Amino acid sequence: MRSWRHAALALGLLAAAASRAAAPEACPAPGDGRDRTYRNERYGVLMRYPSVFALDADSIPALGDSARFWTADRRATAVVNAARTSGTQSLDRLLAEAEEDILRNSHGEITYRRRRDNWFVFSGYILGRIFYRRSFLAPDGTVATLWMEFPRALRPCLEAAVTTMSLSFRPM
């Protein structure tokens, strides 16, 4: 009888652990619900970001060419990079290099592609995480990229943030 109780207790603990493992991950803290604006004056880059992300002030080097944003739990990150090119860089070449980097170097999977006159977007999976990349080529030769990544389970939590950041990421 005693071994039966132990077995029942063990099965109950296993079932509880399994239900916790199957439960969706909790969303990151929402912040105060207001959007903030990131401006990179040197490279003329602008982006709105929701307060679920915070700008990591330590990530901004003296040259001002990048910035990192984190959720409070650091499970999701966004990085903005910008650089000036010689002016001979084409969007098609940038797109091909980005695609090769994702597919060959990172062994990722691209599930969405979109290209317009001066920008392109890729999204998909790398190492089980969702990635989102949007790059633009400004008239002055500035190339800027927004890179976001987070666990797949956080997709419902961060879809609105991805949309806000992506649609507002542009030259000033």
Domains contained in the chain, CATH given: 27-171 (3.40.1000.10)
Average pLDDT, the chain: 84
**Is pTM beyond 0.85 here?**
no
Binned at pLDDT 50, 70 and 90, residue 139 comes out as confident
**pLDDT score, position 59:** 75
pLDDT of residue 1 exceeding 60? no
- Put the strands of the sheet holding 170-171 in their side by side order: 35-40, 45-50, 170-171
- Mean pLDDT along residues 154-171: 95
What is the percent of the chain with per-residue pLDDT over 70, rounded to a whole number? Answer: 83
In our burial notation (b when 16+ CB lie closer than 10 A, e otherwise), range 101-118 reads: ebeeeeebebeeeeeeee
What pLDDT digit, counting tens, does each position of 7-51 carry? 333 334 333 333 334 445 688 888 888 999 999 988 999 999 999
C-alpha span between 53 and 55 (Å, rounded): 7
Residues 6+ apart with CB under 8 A from 35: 48, 49, 50, 51, 164
pLDDT of residue 86: 72
Say whether pLDDT at 56 is over 80: yes
